[in-house]
Amino acid sequence: MNTYDVTGRKLRAEYHKGGEQDTLRTDYCSNLIYEQGRPKMLLVNGGFVTFNDNDNANDSLSFGDGLGGASYHYYLTDHLGNNRVVVGENDSIEQVNHYYPYGGLMAESTGGDTQRYKYNGKELDRMHGLDWYDYGARWMNGLTFTTPDPKAWDYTDVSPYVYCENNPIKFVDPDGRDYDVFYDGASITICATYFTDEKSAESAKEAIAHWNNLNGQFTMDGMPVNFDFTVSVVSSKDIPPGASTEKYIKSKANATISGNTYILKEIDNSNINGETQSGRLVTIDPQKATSLTGAHEVGHTIGLQHSDAGLMTAASSDSKRSDKVSKNEVLNIIRGAVKGKPTKDTKGNSAGKGYFHNTSEYPHKKFKYKMKEIRR
């Protein structure tokens, strides 16, 4: 039995084998995992930390000199974000995972009980022979999702149960979205995360700050519209030797809910100073970019196409380009998430795909979509 909060985040899993004394209880407190009330694992970027069982009366965590209280473990991943090898802090190989295309474990895999986060970095539930992956919004059985896509009506040519359009070698579908819109009955919050490297971090932070600064400037149907964009910096120390920094960051983003990438990199085309591919891969040329280029490309990841004026004007040299985001553009971001279908430009390029979460008791189908900009 699983327990979730109003946003759909898993808080607890309970497995019953018989009486109460035979119940296994796992609690999820952000990235800290407890089993039977004791801290078991701390999930960190690129791996995890395990804690030795502590029978002290105060049950407090003690890292001590780093040898007695905690042990560090590191993931080696492939291009899809699958955890292939777990390496211990003493360079020992603790787990090796080989996968069939849809995540099923091959017989050659070893150390299966070391940790449960495997295909796409998702938790594999093997209790009572279940063998299902927890994708947050849905469960996947190593071949298909076990429940239909909630936005299946927008993709009538694809089965509502298939995983990443039946092409798991090329694509990954953490839970099917590039940004999220949360509605709690009193407010609307637009969320997204941008993975980047250390040299690109400041540019990424400036880009999302432009959007986060819009908090309180718009209302829809009388409710405030908030922006909650974050940057996750991947340390160079976490990148395996010989691995491509860009590919590694993409794999981290692909394995994360609402994950996008933001990279500073030279673009060969002299007419382009920034671009967004597949609605989630942002590249900024640091030599040609203007102060608004990053924020403009972030706009594409949250469902926006080019406009005639303001921040989303196509050319940075256009006199109509400004820092302005219109109320209609904010409305399009929200509507895009409600529909669950990305917009496309005249060339067929897709903007970011959103997902709508109604965490309230109020039906969102009654939205009137009346936007208002609050003048400051």
Could you tell me if 359 and 255 lie in one domain?
A: yes
Confidence check: pLDDT of 170 > 70? no
pLDDT tens string 34-89 = 988 889 899 987 899 998 765 443 433 333 333 347 889 999 988 777 899 999 98
Q: How far is CA 288 from CA 200, 264, 273, 318, in A?
A: 15, 11, 5, 15
Tens digits of per-residue pLDDT, 280-328? 899 999 999 899 999 999 999 999 999 999 999 999 999 999 999 999 9
Q: Averaged over 124-131, what is the pLDDT?
A: 86
pLDDT at residue 176 is higher than 80: no
Rounded Cα distance, 241 and 245, in Å: 10
Q: Pseudo-torsion of CA 267, 273, 276, 280, nearest 10°?
A: 90
Based on the fold, state whether residues 123 and 202 are members of the same structural domain.
Answer: no
Give 242-260 pLDDT, tens digit per residue: 888 888 888 777 766 678 9
Burial of 218 (0-12, 13-18, 19+ CB in 10 A): buried
CATH code for position 310 = 3.40.390.10
Question: Do 159 and 14 belong together in one domain?
Answer: yes
**Domain tally for the chain?**
2
Question: What pLDDT sits at residue 73?
Answer: 93
Q: Is residue 171 part of a domain?
A: no
Same domain (yes/no): 100, 150:
yes
154 shares its domain with 186: no
| Cα–Cα distance list, 271 to 264, 294, 316, 318 (Å) | 16, 16, 10, 13
Domain stop point among 166, 192, 210: 166
Same domain for 80 and 215: no
Q: Are 232 and 195 in contact (CB under 8 A)?
A: yes
* 61 is a domain residue: no
Within a domain: residue 172?
A: no
Range 20-39 average pLDDT: 86
71 shares a domain with 219: no
Same domain, 80 and 192: no
Is it the case that residue 355 has pLDDT exceeding 50? yes
pTM over 0.85: no
Same domain, 80 and 14: yes
User: Does 133 score more than 80 pLDDT?
Assistant: yes
234: its two tokens:
């991947």
The DSSP H or E segment spanning 339 is helix 327-339
pLDDT at 157: 64
Inside any domain, residue 173: no
Distances (CA, A) of 231 to 123, 352, 372: 24, 17, 28
Residues 133 and 258 in one domain: no
- State which of 131, 166, 201 marks the end of a domain: 166
- Structural domain includes residue 256: yes
Q: 230 and 302, same structural domain? A: yes
CB atoms inside a 10 Å sphere around CB 292: 21
What range defines the domain where residue 307 resides? 179-373
